[in-house]
Amino acid sequence: MNTMERREITVAEARRILEALEELDPLQRRVMDYTSKFSKLPAEEASRLVEELVESGLERSIAVQIANCLPGSVEELRTFLGRQRIISKETIEALLGIIEKYRSKATSE
């Protein structure tokens, strides 16, 4: 398998990629098991959430982590933003609003 592009992806997107493969080697099966247990959104929704967060000014790597975990409070969200500059309460509330739109679509397995 050749590398065509390198970028951060969500757990849900990794799951979609693995589901598209016909045969999985042992490591890929273990990763598939992990992604099945821990993906919280469908891949398309996770991708849209990441894009909205990036458009709001977050780095892609942080947006991916947020999409993987779907924090529900200011305190939880701040754990992801620790490396970022000081962010206003209004901005954090706006980010939580974006996340909340997708929390309702989260898979509950």
Domains belonging to the chain, first-starting first, are 6-109 (1.20.1250.40)
The mean of the pLDDT values for the chain is 90
Q: Give the whole-angstrom CA distance, residue 16 versus residue 35.
A: 9
Q: Give the whole-angstrom CA distance, residue 35 versus residue 37.
A: 5
Q: Which two tokens stand for residue 79?
A: 């754990």
pLDDT value of position 109: 42
- Contact of 63 with 50, CB cutoff 8 Å: yes
- The pTM is what? 0.85
Question: What 3-state class would DSSP assign to 39?
Answer: coil
Q: Give the whole-angstrom CA distance, residue 39 versus residue 98.
A: 18
Task: Read off the pLDDT band of 107 (50, 70, 90).
Answer: low
Which of 18-27, 59-68, 100-109 is the least confident region?
100-109
